[in-house]
Structure 1
Amino acid sequence: MLQFIPMPTHEVRAFQRGESDAYGHVPERQTSDGDGASCRHCLKNIPKGAGMLVLAHCPFPEKQPYAETGPIFLCEDECAAHADSATSPDVLSTSPTYLIKGYSEDHRIVYGTGAIVEKSSVASAAQGILAQDRVAYVHARSAKNNCYLLRIEGAGSLS
């Protein structure tokens, strides 16, 4: 069974309080135009007119050559984390395609696992990647912009 893992609440709350992002900047406050700005915590599209944060995020525990950093969106106001980790979240239904790729236990890309897949195939493709010996988890990212969306794990994977 797959688990769809949002950003940890404690990290999100820190950004909502104005703590610095991966580049040492305070998150930018903007208003969502309702088109493709998905919160990495509730894993839903931020509604048109709602406040949102834009910030640099690195979803890895430490800086290293494979630790990609890029822009993400968060709800400006507190939102609940995507609670049903076994259910594919809204964020994986808003685009026609997604980039997925596997990472090892030491947070390095496992070469050959990256693929752009149709939204209807994200879960099955992630299961196939997770079945490989060296893969500990998968990232789902924007196929157009490579922005981090969420982490996918198999039952019993690392957290």
Structure 2
Amino acid sequence: MTKITALPTEIVRALQEGGPDAHGQMPERTVSDGGGNPCRHCLQYIPEGQEMLILAHRPFPEAQPYAETGPIFLCANHCARHEGEAVPEVLEGSPEYLIKGYSADHRIVYGTGIVIPQAEMMGRAEAIFADVRVDYIHIRSSRNNCYQARIDRG
């Protein structure tokens, strides 16, 4: 059993309240055009006209060679964290995703990375978790490599 895990609320609230991003910069504030700006906390698209943040995020506990940093969007206002087993709205919008497994020490487990159709993603995640070296899986954009969410054992 697997579950999709959104960014932790404490990290998101710090950013929404003006805290610095992974590069030590203030998140950019802008307005969503409604054209596919996925919030990494509620895992919903930020509606047109709503304020949003654009910032650099590193979904790892510390900087190290495998700790990729890249751009993400967040709702500018507080939103509820995605919970539950249902595939969230933002992961239904693309035909395919890049997924890859990471070890408990946050290193890529080589051989687990694959660009896969969205409909096959969660089944493949179950297979990746069969490798005991895998602690969690990242879901990333297959086109831009942007971090989307994490898959954890349920």
**1:83 deviation in Å?**
2.1
Q: Secondary structure at the match of 1:10?
A: helix
What is aligned with 1:15?
15
**1:135 deviation in Å?**
0.6
The answer on 1:132 being equivalent to 2:94 is: no
What is aligned with 1:75?
75
Task: Give the Cα–Cα distance (whole angstroms) in 1 for the partners of residues 48 and 94 of structure 2.
Answer: 17
**1:90 deviation in Å?**
1.2
Task: Give the Cα–Cα distance (whole angstroms) in 1 for the partners of residues 129 and 87 of structure 2.
Answer: 16
Bigger drift between 118-127 and 65-74 goes to 118-127
* Residue identity opposite 1:4 in structure 2: I
Identity %: 56
Matched pairs, number: 154
Q: CA-atom RMSD, angstroms?
A: 0.8
Task: Give the Cα–Cα distance (whole angstroms) in 2 for the partners of residues 35 and 79 of structure 1.
Answer: 19
Task: Give the Cα–Cα distance (whole angstroms) in 2 for the partners of residues 114 and 36 of structure 1.
Answer: 24
Task: Give the Cα–Cα distance (whole angstroms) in 2 for the partners of residues 35 and 135 of structure 1.
Answer: 34
Q: Secondary structure at the match of 1:141?
A: strand
Task: Give the Cα–Cα distance (whole angstroms) in 2 for the partners of residues 51 and 94 of structure 1.
Answer: 21
* Residue identity opposite 1:28 in structure 2: E
Superposed CA deviations along residues 27-46 of structure 1, whole A, max 9, x for unmatched, are 00011111221000000111
**1:111 deviation in Å?**
0.6
Give the TM-score normalised by structure 2.
0.97
Task: Give the Cα–Cα distance (whole angstroms) in 2 for the partners of residues 34 and 132 of structure 1.
Answer: 39
* Residue identity opposite 2:33 in structure 1: D
Q: Secondary structure at the match of 2:36?
A: coil
Q: Secondary structure at the match of 2:10?
A: helix
1:41-60 maps to which residues of 2 (within 5 A)? 41-60=41-60
1:114-129 maps to which residues of 2 (within 5 A)? 114-129=113-128
Task: Give the Cα–Cα distance (whole angstroms) in 1 for the partners of residues 48 and 117 of structure 2.
Answer: 26
Superposed structure 1 runs of 4+ greater than 2 Å apart: none
Q: Which consecutive residues of structure 2, in runs of 5 or more, have no partner in the other structure?
A: none
